[in-house]
Amino acid sequence: MVDEKIIHDPVHGSMRLSGLVLDLVDTPEVQRLRSIRQLGLANLVFPGANHTRFEHALGVSHLVERLGSELKLPKRELNMLLAAAVLHDIGHAPYSHTLEYLMTDYLKKDHMELTGDILRGKTSIHEKGELQKLGKLHVPSVVDVLAKYKISPNEVAQLLLGKHRKPYLGQIIHGEIDVDQLDYLLRDAHFTGVALGMVDADRLLRTLIVRGNRLAIASKGIEAVEGLLTARALMYTSVYYHHTVRIAELMLANAVEFAIKRGGGRINRDNFYLLTDSELLERLGEIRGYPHEIVTRLRYRQLFKTAYVEERRELSQAEKKRILKTYSGWSRVHELQNKIADKAGVPHGYVILDVPIVDILISEPRLEKVEVLVLVENKLVGLSELSPIASALKKRQAPRYQLRVVAAPKYVNKVKKVAEKILP
Amino acid sequence: MVDEKIIHDPVHGSMRLSGLVLDLVDTPEVQRLRSIRQLGLANLVFPGANHTRFEHALGVSHLVERLGSELKLPKRELNMLLAAAVLHDIGHAPYSHTLEYLMTDYLKKDHMELTGDILRGKTSIHEKGELQKLGKLHVPSVVDVLAKYKISPNEVAQLLLGKHRKPYLGQIIHGEIDVDQLDYLLRDAHFTGVALGMVDADRLLRTLIVRGNRLAIASKGIEAVEGLLTARALMYTSVYYHHTVRIAELMLANAVEFAIKRGGGRINRDNFYLLTDSELLERLGEIRGYPHEIVTRLRYRQLFKTAYVEERRELSQAEKKRILKTYSGWSRVHELQNKIADKAGVPHGYVILDVPIVDILISEPRLEKVEVLVLVENKLVGLSELSPIASALKKRQAPRYQLRVVAAPKYVNKVKKVAEKILP
Amino acid sequence: MVDEKIIHDPVHGSMRLSGLVLDLVDTPEVQRLRSIRQLGLANLVFPGANHTRFEHALGVSHLVERLGSELKLPKRELNMLLAAAVLHDIGHAPYSHTLEYLMTDYLKKDHMELTGDILRGKTSIHEKGELQKLGKLHVPSVVDVLAKYKISPNEVAQLLLGKHRKPYLGQIIHGEIDVDQLDYLLRDAHFTGVALGMVDADRLLRTLIVRGNRLAIASKGIEAVEGLLTARALMYTSVYYHHTVRIAELMLANAVEFAIKRGGGRINRDNFYLLTDSELLERLGEIRGYPHEIVTRLRYRQLFKTAYVEERRELSQAEKKRILKTYSGWSRVHELQNKIADKAGVPHGYVILDVPIVDILISEPRLEKVEVLVLVENKLVGLSELSPIASALKKRQAPRYQLRVVAAPKYVNKVKKVAEKILP
Amino acid sequence: MVDEKIIHDPVHGSMRLSGLVLDLVDTPEVQRLRSIRQLGLANLVFPGANHTRFEHALGVSHLVERLGSELKLPKRELNMLLAAAVLHDIGHAPYSHTLEYLMTDYLKKDHMELTGDILRGKTSIHEKGELQKLGKLHVPSVVDVLAKYKISPNEVAQLLLGKHRKPYLGQIIHGEIDVDQLDYLLRDAHFTGVALGMVDADRLLRTLIVRGNRLAIASKGIEAVEGLLTARALMYTSVYYHHTVRIAELMLANAVEFAIKRGGGRINRDNFYLLTDSELLERLGEIRGYPHEIVTRLRYRQLFKTAYVEERRELSQAEKKRILKTYSGWSRVHELQNKIADKAGVPHGYVILDVPIVDILISEPRLEKVEVLVLVENKLVGLSELSPIASALKKRQAPRYQLRVVAAPKYVNKVKKVAEKILP
């Protein structure tokens, strides 16, 4: 009898795990994801949002299994995809995207590249001490399991980074319409209770096709894609870019940076991204002064308050350029927020500047080019030619505001005055 | 103790009915709606779509009750709205929108105007014989119930036709974001199983406001509105304008027209719109020849097949004008389809021409002007200024095709050849 | 390319139909089920309950497909089961179970035996006229399709009647835990909105097994079975035996019997069970006097009212015997209700006696013996040994009342007095 | 304008918080619940089960608001109930029920009594250091908020402990059918994905009544209650008493006891119950040897395995007595498990004995007496007189096994042999 587990998932129902997937799920790298919340600190606004990257990894692999059977993929490709599905997030730092800026700054890589490195055995996502403990329990690692199933770690890494020679394999996991977002949109809707993100997964899985080595959609799936794209856009605005979530996450990121710079605690530039959510918070809380206070504020939801906000509006090309020049990069934003703090006579760290629009502007040129391909009368056509919604969504600015300055409550008034003067 | 009923509704859960609503629900005009399917013949494609205008009327009144309590409307206005909610569809012909063209042609009014006439006691929605039977059972009519509660039928009619002096009252039932569509989108999604139509009703009900006598939305409700508008657009394409549904409904409409023109049966221009779905089908089935055959075809799903189709594409202003000129109006389309039939040597009625794009082009100028109002920093702003999705949706053509010719299976090939020659 | 259809089902999501199932679905026998409501007149109480036997047939075949793949059934058995699933209800009279008593009385068979006869080509479920119309359209019948796929109609009939030599095949469709009830419980819950009937179908499908030619359940499925059995019991009480539904259905059955006995209309003992819901109502409505009035009452929900009721309570063996003796059989009940009418000076047909408890008492001895089998440590054990819930459910009386007398509103008082005197 | 928040809850939709509830939610005592998982370590088996006592507290207060409005409770009583709803779980130790035995052993109180003490200001649920940090942020505590709204903490405590002079007030929160379980059953079903726990909350809230100062149910709510009771029973078996969950939780409890007994770490008998889930795990992980290993095992899901199990079966009165005598109390069980360990030559802590049946046997006599009251013809009747399901459920043993011995994998064989010898 095959070793098999049936797992109850609130999003996909009963899911059957066995063989490769089951073995991968048991590795420490994947088990670590149990302790990393999918939506960082969003649970401070959406109390149900305590779901983790672990469930998400299971969900994505479940969808790969369904899609693989629809597309009748060969066993070898299916296994590759299953591995990629289970492992695609193992390089995530605590609180998911919250510390991504710091990773780029300190590690010079994002969670995707880190995942690649872990797969190739170049680095580990566990501290040494942790590895020793694990050693005693003889738990196979991801590298062991891939070897057991004769799957090339390098190929999985390439697939995840979109460099596999068969483009559709990468696109199934990370493309314009992929199982990653299919799972996270359904899952985030289920756990936040935000009903904007309903997506006809059934139909999408049944209308995705492979043509000329690329993933595309049959024309009868167009509405399902339009639905998916809209759901994603609305979830960005309502959940992922919710200003209170951003404030909390920036408070945490600032405290981590402070701790790393000051040194002396149990957090440093070589380990902050390895920890789990609660380890990070615990270690940060041990450091007196600012980190300590921020942790208390996060634990008891005593967040900084808005001192100044610039609402979303249409931007000219010139304005976009100026914004990108002024605000792109963690260090530029930091300098500016410290400048405001200085002028307002407020200690550093108690004024935080949030410019979510920058993320959007950076990815805009890429988005302009990217296209869902639709099979119409046996030709592949870009979706935005067919759907005004799809092309409108490319122009839609997800965050409701361009720029926001927050501060500890007692400093709000002072900071407001300075911000109004200094900021454009 | 108050007379009260708790009704189980699969969309809104337990709904409590009492007083005015309960009395209205018991009238023959509203009970008739039990026999009129909400989505006409859509159940031939979506087998679950057997829900009726009756449940919808209950659902809309339930939403009015919730919205009324959110907006803290005075009792008098609430009662007016409740009456309007329960009664807004009593003027519907059998199979809902299927015979709307014939109503316009023969009655010179649509179901809304007819509803107004029924409310004012100018006409009845029941045949004489039916009224006599009802008389014996002493069932109060809508006019009786409105009188009992001292509600002006005229005011309700004005409200339904968008002419009430307090515009928000009309907009709550039929506006840009109204309880009518809130209910039908949720309900049609529930019964068809098409998961594109999920709508955050809770949030909408909690962010709708009244400003300057108009219905508007608070800015934190924008995403919920964007969700609603997209859901509606996608439901139009996937369900309401599904080509098979259109074919079936046009087959029925053609058969009804045939029966009226030929005369002699139990259907005529003075009663066809009063009947229920099954009465219409039954009476039509009694008429030998074409009507009889069409009824058999609908009962056993032996539908006409596509002979020619022109897919959706962007149209120039000139093209739009030409299309409107060539195809607007039931009689123009009929002439053309008969011309094709003649050339193909096929009896009239066995070729049907469908030009769904005309509906859209006719309503376009109106849609261009209509706007959801959003309250931003205490000013009302049009949504399309704020949301690229909203403005894109105005341009989106709901049906997937511009024009389609269908025919009885054995004539398809002949008709195809003629259509390819004649049609542009 | 294989001819294939994807159908949206609100209960099971996207369902794929092809080959045998698709061909069977297109037969007139199965299409007829579109016009027979799954829950008879329950929509008078649960307005959403307009779903038909047609969707149910699709749903059951979908579940068979899933279960077949879990059990790895051979193709031949799977096809047999799929045919049985799609066809199991084609012998239903209009309004499903409403006229079952009359069928037994006049036809001497129930809908299951009739289904068997139709399969074997012994009888038809369409009137002659209808068959002629269909003939012109060249639509293959069930017999044709079974022949095309080389499936023995006799074997399907045996399977449906529980007489197949491989008992598990019959049990999959009609057993203690079967796909028929799995579908109807989920479906009736979805369409009525009664949330008692939620059932973990996923888990059941994954824990059902075949042992010694019988269908059984693995022990880790026990809770799912307990859930199913309870759901069924509660749906019986809340929906299927709801007193208002019973009243409406008995009004209809009395009117049909009246029409058959009096003769002269378009309804007789040879055709009443062939009709669709609306045909029955239409033809009944043409018959002046009682049938005519009843139809009007049903159309406008002017139902008879309770004059006398005996609530549910524990019954002694002696009482049960007496009840069975006094009330079993349509004619005994009729005599008694006419006796009450006579004494009260009320015309026959305006007093109706409902003794739902009789159904239960008749099936009790059978139920006592029937058992869900559970595989515990490699032995099959009866569920009631393992689950106090299961054994309690055998004793639970579904209807909330033992006996009820209803009458046209104006006669209620008179009938009440007589009933109180005459009835025990 | 009133300060008000709209919170998205995946179970109840949009929930409005203001005034008392909003103020209570902001207290550190309630915010602490964000870090205590509702289902302890159940997420090791049901990956979605990361929901916390915090959401549950909000959900219960939402249900109280709805029930209060149905029952038309006076403002004073409603406020009392709202306070009780938000606060009813603030005395929970980390991982909810996992350490309940240790609390009884060391504190001589359970979480309910501790809640009472916190309310009355007798003790705090925060460590001193934590209180100092909070002091700096000037966050009002529960005691402050109750004082602000002039609510007697003592009365709330009495209500929660079932000692309020108006019994229905206590029963609404903790009775036979109460809002606490209504919320947790719906919530646990939503987050685990186990579909057995569906409950018709709408109907229950609309049929609960107060009679003679006691909470009861109208007779038309009986099926909803039967559904609730069954759902609860099945959730106990499938989720709360799932053997893997039990194993994990006992591993944790054993490690905590070990840490307390050995001393020297940051956990002791005066603080273990104050911590949050992650604080407990972090501190435990710092202690070398056994606690350290157990934490690693829990983090990476390397659980102890079953060495011996006695399945569920009917027990005689004599057997029940013997079991109670042999196994009741944490220390008795511990002695026994250590005895097995000694005989097997295994270090203490690596053999764990689980006797879930004891909990059931202890509460049985209480359960026998407790009754849901139903209003039938104006008299209150015990539900078990009316419903065989209800009385069967009293006899149903929730856990699937009576007794289980687990051990670290490498010791399983040795322990098996000893257990088979020693245990009855």
Q: Which residue of A has its CA nearest to C202?
A: A14
- Interface touch B206/D13, C-beta < 8 Å: no
Q: Is A62 on the interface with D (CB under 8 A)?
A: no
Q: How far is A198 from chain B (nearest CA, A)?
A: 6
pLDDT at site A370: 75
* The residue to which tokens 């095992």 are assigned: D297
What are C309's strand-pairing partners?
A: C404
Structure-token pair, residue D350 = 């690596």
Give the model's confidence band at A1: pLDDT under 50 very low, under 70 low, under 90 confident, else very high. Answer: very low
pLDDT at site B284: 97
pLDDT at site C197: 58
Give the model's confidence band at D311: pLDDT under 50 very low, under 70 low, under 90 confident, else very high. Answer: confident
Q: Is C6 on the interface with A (CB under 8 A)?
A: yes
CB under 8 Å, gap of 24 or more: what pairs does C264-272 form? C265/C291, C269/C106, C269/C107, C271/C127, C272/C93, C272/C94, C272/C99, C272/C102, C272/C106
* A118 vs D196, residue with greater confidence: A118
Q: Is D240 on the interface with A (CB under 8 A)?
A: no
Q: Is A244 on the interface with B (CB under 8 A)?
A: no
pLDDT at site C1: 45
How confident is the prediction for chain A on average, in pLDDT?
A: 93
Question: What is the pLDDT averaged over residues C2-16?
Answer: 87
Q: Which residue of B has its CA nearest to D221?
A: B6
pLDDT at site C207: 93
- Interface touch C299/B7, C-beta < 8 Å: no
Say which of A139, A191, A277 has its CB closest to residue D300.
Answer: A139
- Interface touch B299/C35, C-beta < 8 Å: yes
- Interface touch A227/B233, C-beta < 8 Å: no
How confident is the prediction for chain D on average, in pLDDT?
A: 93
The predicted complex's ipTM stands at: 0.94
Question: What is the pLDDT averaged over residues A224-253?
Answer: 93
- Interface touch C206/A13, C-beta < 8 Å: no
Exposure string for B312-328, b = 16+ CB within 10 A, e = fewer: beeeeeeeeeebbeebe
Give the model's confidence band at D358: pLDDT under 50 very low, under 70 low, under 90 confident, else very high. Answer: confident
Q: Is A378 on the interface with C (CB under 8 A)?
A: no
User: Which of C11, C200, C205 to mutate: most D Cβ within 10 Å?
Assistant: C200
Structure-token pair, residue A218 = 């049959």
Say which of C219, C230, C311 has its CB closest to residue D230.
Answer: C230
pLDDT at site A57: 98
pLDDT at site D400: 86
Q: Is A206 on the interface with C (CB under 8 A)?
A: yes
Q: How many Cα atoms within 13 Å fall on the side-chain side of residue A343? A: 16
The dihedrals phi and psi of B81, each to the nearest 5 degrees, come to -65, -40
What percentage of residues in chain C have a pLDDT greater than 70?
A: 98
What angle in degrees, to the nearest 10, is found between the helix axes of C243-262 and C277-285? Answer: 60
HEC string for chain D:
CCCEEEEEECCCEEEEEEHHHHHHHCCHHHHHHHHCECCCCHHHCCCCCCCEHHHHHHHHHHHHHHHHHHHCCCHHHHHHHHHHHHHCCCCCCCCHHHHHHHHHHHCCCCHHHHHHHHHCCCCCCCCHHHHHHHHHHCCCCHHHHHHHCCCCHHHHHHHHCCCCCCHHHHHHHCCCCCHHHHHHHHHHHHHHCCHHHCCCHHHHHHHEEEECCEEEEEHHHHHHHHHHHHHHHHHHHHHHCCHHHHHHHHHHHHHHHHHHHHCCCCCCCCCCCCCCHHHHHHHHHCCCCHHHHHHHHHHCCCCCEEEEEEECCCCCHHHHHHHHHHHCCHHHHHHHHHHHHHHHCCCCCCEEEECCHHHHHHHHHHHHHCCCEEEECCEEEEHHHHCHHHHHHHHCCCCCEEEEEEECHHHHHHHHHHHHHHCC
Q: How far is A282 from chain C (nearest CA, A)?
A: 40
Burial class (CB in 10 A: 0-12, 13-18, 19+), D66: middle
C202 vs A contacts (CB less than 8 Å): 13-14
Give the model's confidence band at D316: pLDDT under 50 very low, under 70 low, under 90 confident, else very high. Answer: confident
pLDDT at site C228: 92
Question: What is the pLDDT averaged over residues A314-328?
Answer: 87
3-state secondary structure at position B216:
strand
What percentage of residues in chain D have a pLDDT greater than 70?
A: 99
What percentage of residues in chain A have a pLDDT greater than 70?
A: 98
- Interface touch C13/A202, C-beta < 8 Å: yes
Q: Which residue of D has its CA nearest to C239?
A: D223
D376 vs C contacts (CB less than 8 Å): 311
Q: Is C139 on the interface with B (CB under 8 A)?
A: yes
- Interface touch D206/B13, C-beta < 8 Å: no
pLDDT at site A198: 65
What is the rounded CA–CA span in Å between residue D215 and residue D208? Answer: 7
Q: Is A195 on the interface with B (CB under 8 A)?
A: yes
- Contact (CB, 8 A) for B252 and B267: no
User: Which of B234, B397, B401, B402 to mutate: most A Cβ within 10 Å?
Assistant: B234
pLDDT at site B1: 45
Q: How far is D107 from chain A (nearest CA, A)?
A: 26
Kindly list the partner chains of chain D, i.e. chains with 3 or more CB atom pairs below 8 Å: A, B, C
Angle at B136 (CA atoms; ends B130, B141), nearest 5 degrees: 65
Count interface pairs A-C at CB distance under 8 A.
14
Question: What is the pLDDT averaged over residues D214-228?
Answer: 92
pLDDT at site B239: 93
pLDDT at site D2: 58
B289 vs C contacts (CB less than 8 Å): none
How confident is the prediction for chain C on average, in pLDDT?
A: 93
A14 vs C contacts (CB less than 8 Å): 202-203, 206
Q: How far is CA C286 from the centre of its chain?
A: 27
- Interface touch C389/D387, C-beta < 8 Å: no
Q: How far is C202 from chain A (nearest CA, A)?
A: 6
pLDDT digits (tens, 9 = 90+) for B293-320: 999 999 999 999 999 999 877 788 898 8
A194 vs B contacts (CB less than 8 Å): 200
Q: Is B4 on the interface with D (CB under 8 A)?
A: no
Q: Is D387 on the interface with C (CB under 8 A)?
A: yes
The DSSP element (H or E) to which A322 belongs, if any, is helix A317-327
Q: Is B203 on the interface with D (CB under 8 A)?
A: yes
- Interface touch D233/C389, C-beta < 8 Å: yes
B16 vs D contacts (CB less than 8 Å): 206
Q: How far is A72 from chain C (nearest CA, A)?
A: 15
pLDDT at site A51: 98
Give the model's confidence band at A2: pLDDT under 50 very low, under 70 low, under 90 confident, else very high. Answer: low
Q: Which residue of A has its CA nearest to C205?
A: A14
Structure-token pair, residue D370 = 């407790």
- Interface touch A48/D292, C-beta < 8 Å: no
pLDDT digits (tens, 9 = 90+) for A276-317: 999 999 999 999 999 999 999 999 999 999 999 998 777 888
pLDDT digits (tens, 9 = 90+) for D332-342: 999 999 999 99
pLDDT digits (tens, 9 = 90+) for C367-383: 677 789 999 888 999 99
- Contact (CB, 8 A) for C348 and C341: yes
Structure-token pair, residue C19 = 């080959």
Q: Is C225 on the interface with D (CB under 8 A)?
A: no
Q: Is A151 on the interface with D (CB under 8 A)?
A: no
Residue D192 has pLDDT above 70, yes or no: yes
Ordered mean pLDDT values, 10 residues apiece, chain B (424 residues):
82 92 97 97 97 98 96 97 98 94 90 94 93 90 96 96 95 94 95 82 93 93 91 91 96 97 94 96 95 96 96 84 88 94 97 90 74 91 88 80 95 97 87
- Interface touch A206/C13, C-beta < 8 Å: no
What angle in degrees, to the nearest 10, is found between the helix axes of B53-71 and B75-87? Answer: 160
Question: What is the pLDDT averaged over residues A72-79?
Answer: 97
Say which of A6, A202, A203 has its CB closest to residue C206.
Answer: A6
What is the rounded CA–CA span in Å between residue C48 and residue B8? Answer: 8
pLDDT digits (tens, 9 = 90+) for C197-222: 568 898 899 999 999 999 999 998 99
What is the rounded CA–CA span in Å between residue D6 and residue D18? Answer: 9
B203 vs A contacts (CB less than 8 Å): 195
Residue D210 has pLDDT above 80, yes or no: yes
Say whether pTM exceeds 0.90. Answer: yes
Q: Which of D290, D399, D262 has the alpha carbon at shortest distance from D352? A: D290
Q: Which residue of A has its CA nearest to B201?
A: A195
Residue A335 has pLDDT above 80, yes or no: yes
Give the model's confidence band at A355: pLDDT under 50 very low, under 70 low, under 90 confident, else very high. Answer: very high
C16 vs A contacts (CB less than 8 Å): 206
Question: What is the pLDDT averaged over residues A398-403?
Answer: 88
Kindly list the partner chains of chain A, i.e. chains with 3 or more CB atom pairs below 8 Å: B, C, D
What is the rounded CA–CA span in Å between residue A284 and residue A298? Answer: 11
DSSP C164: -
Q: Which residue of D has its CA nearest to C223?
A: D234
